[in-house]
Each structure stands twice: as structure tokens, then as C-alpha cells.
Amino acid sequence: MEAPLYAQPGFRQVAGDVWRPGGMSVTRRGLTLCAFPAGARLLDIGCGAGATLRLLRALGYRAVGCDRQPDTAAAGLPLLRCTALALPLRGGVLDGLLCECVLSLLSDSEAALREMARVLRPAGRLLLSDLFLTEDAPPPLPGPGVPSCLRGARPLPDLLRLFRQAGLRLLHSEDHSDRLRSLAARLLWNGGTRTDLAALAGASCSCAPRRYDYGLWILEKDS
């Protein structure tokens, strides 16, 4: 089975330790919108190499990361080894969560959103960014040959429905699809493989082009 895009060498060479479109600029934008209080208790879900976690701690937040397989670059940071489907935290303990380009990788995004809502305090906020299918795009191809971040992408109306069902109210949304296209262009310019580029552009060399976009959503747990 082909590795997820973030694990492919061509992608890491271009993206460095921030494995998502827009890098830290989208993260900083989301943090501004969330307006977490000083010293807020935050969890970075799927923290990867720890770039966001380092930023959060530098900003004075009481932040911890979690990942099912923490990257060696995150060594020395406060980490939980777990999945988003089973967070080892009691309910209502967190002021905020960050889930950046991770939801579409999970086996059950609906259950993951419910788990995120469980550990948030009432009115706690979730900074979420991810791929989504454009309205006129066909669904991703099933099967192990398709990178999981693309297989897990959903149309925007489906995502909005899952947010509501999990008890998460949408406060703000932004389209950052230009960041996705920029990352694809940098991959191409730096000699990225056709697989890397196809995954980012949402196209497969063996089928009709598929269209993916990238969004940022700020959500609040129902009081």
C-alpha cells in the first residue's frame, strides 16, 4: 500500500517539519481566530514533528501533543502516544484542540470528532484544517492504492454535518486552497514525484482529475 503523502520523502523534503499546506501561517491564523486565554490547556492532535507544539509552548500555552507514532523530531516535547479515537484524558479537561490535516487520515472521522468534543470543556474551541472534496468532484477511489488523506476527504456539507452531530458549533471558516496549490507547485519545482504531485492536486494519472480543496474551521463545543 502506498504511504500517506506526509510520509513520502519528496513531500518531507519540500515541507520540512510542517506537513500541511500553508505551514505555520495557517496555524497562526487559526490561533488568532480561536483567541485562547493565556495559559490555556491545549492538545495538538497528530503532532508529527512537533512544529505546532513548539509554537504553542513558546506562546505560553500549557500544550501537549499526541500521535500514534511520534516523530523522532518531537523528542523532548510533552507527548501522548495514542490515536484521536481514544484520547487518554478525562472529559471536559481541555480549553482547546488543534487538528491540522489529520482528520482525513483517520479511520473514523465521525468518532474522532465526538472524542474531541468529549475532552473539550463547554465553549472550548477546536482549530481544524484539512482537505475537502469540491462540490462537483466524484468521491475518492476506494482501495489501498489511494493515499489515506485523499481517501478520507469528504465534501464540505458532510463535514459540516459531522461537526453538528459531534456537538461542535461552527464559528468561522476560511478557504486556503491556494496554499494547497502552492505546495503542489513547490513539489513540482523541486522535482517531486508524480505520486506526490497527483496526491496534492487531487488527480490520478490513471483516472479523470479529482478536485480537492483545503479549509480552516474554528469550532466551539456546545455549552
- Specify the higher pLDDT residue, 206 or 159: 159
Q: Which of 16-25, 70-79, 103-112, 212-221 has the lowest mean pLDDT?
A: 16-25
User: Above 60 in pLDDT, residue 198?
Assistant: no
**Residue 203 — very low, low, confident or very high, per pLDDT cuts 50/70/90?**
very low
Is pTM beyond 0.85 here?
no
| Residue 79 pLDDT > 60 | yes
Q: Average pLDDT, stretch 166-170? A: 98
Burial letters 27-64, b for 16+ CB under 10 A, else e: bebbbebbebeeebbbbbbbbbbbbbbbbbbeeebebb
pLDDT tier at 20, thresholds 50, 70, 90: confident
Give the Å distances, CA to CA, from 196 to 6, 119, 186, 188, 210: 9, 35, 11, 9, 14
- 169-178 mean pLDDT: 95
CA-to-CA separations, 137 to 64, 116, 186, 211, in angstroms, rounded: 37, 28, 24, 6
pLDDT at 148 over 90: no
Phi, psi angle pair for 44, to nearest 5°: -100, 105
First to last CA, the chain: 43
Mean pLDDT of the chain: 83
Please determine, for residue 207, whether its predicted confidence score (pLDDT) is greater than 50: no
Nearest to 69 by CA among 82, 53, 56: 82
CA 142, CA 153: separation in Å to the nearest integer?
12
pLDDT higher than threshold 70 for residue 15: no
* Sign of torsion over alpha carbons 21, 102, 165, 133: positive
Where does the pLDDT of residue 17 fall: very low under 50, low under 70, confident under 90, or very high at 90 and above?
low
Q: What is the pLDDT of residue 42?
A: 98
Q: Which segment of 33-47, 64-78, 128-142, 173-187 scores lowest on mean pLDDT?
A: 128-142
pLDDT at 147: 47
pLDDT band at 21 (very low <50, low <70, confident <90, very high): confident
Task: Compute the average pLDDT of residues 37-54.
Answer: 94
pLDDT at 141: 53
Range 5-221 classified under CATH 3.40.50.150: yes
